[in-house]
């Protein structure tokens, strides 16, 4: 095996290890959440819960934010922004995978 092949395999091995050790960034619910006003076309009854989900998302509390957005989606299945919120929790927490 040539020196270049060994270097290439070593780099590939190190790169694959770094992908598996990528940490997720997720915090619990903070004691205080800021106020969020994020108007949507969803039902008015879910607006407060949606705003809480956005506040949790911006506080890095991805699991509670996901739960809040899922609650909104259950109460208003036509609320596309609830599904956007769920997707943002996956992308922000590094939970998406191509495997």
Q: Note whether residue 71 is domain-resident.
A: yes
In this predicted structure, what is the pLDDT of residue 21?
42
The whole-model pTM stands at: 0.67
User: Is the model's pLDDT at 10 over the cut of 60?
Assistant: yes
Q: Note whether residue 79 is domain-resident.
A: yes
CATH number, domain with residue 61: 1.25.40
User: Is the model's pLDDT at 22 over the cut of 50?
Assistant: no
Q: Note whether residue 53 is domain-resident.
A: yes
Angle, vertex CA 77, rays to CA 73 and CA 79, nearest 5? 75
Query: Which residue range forms the structural domain that includes residue 32?
Result: 26-93
Q: Note whether residue 82 is domain-resident.
A: yes
How many domains does the chain divide into?
1
Q: What is the per-residue pLDDT across 44-72, written as a single tens digit (0 to 9) for each?
A: 999 999 999 999 999 989 999 999 999 99
Cβ-based burial of 33 (10 A; exposed 0-12, middle 13-18, buried ≥19): middle
Q: Note whether residue 15 is domain-resident.
A: no
Residues 6+ apart with CB under 8 A from 98: none
Characterize 48-85 residue by residue with b for buried, 16 or more Cβ atoms within 10 angstroms of its Cβ, and e for exposed.
Answer: ebbbbbbbbbebebbbbbbebbbbbbeebeebebbeeb
């Amino acid at each position: 095996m040539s020196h270049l092949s060994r270097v290439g395999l070593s780099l590939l091995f190190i790169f694959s290890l770094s992908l598996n050790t990528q940490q997720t960034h997720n915090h619990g619910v903070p004691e205080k959440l800021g106020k969020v006003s994020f108007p949507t076309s969803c039902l008015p009854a879910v607006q407060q819960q949606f705003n809480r989900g956005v506040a949790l998302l911006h506080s890095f509390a991805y699991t509670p934010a996901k739960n809040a957005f899922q609650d909104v989606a259950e109460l208003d299945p036509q609320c596309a922004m609830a599904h956007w919120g769920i997707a943002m929790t996956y992308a922000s927490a590094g939970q998406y995978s191509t495997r």
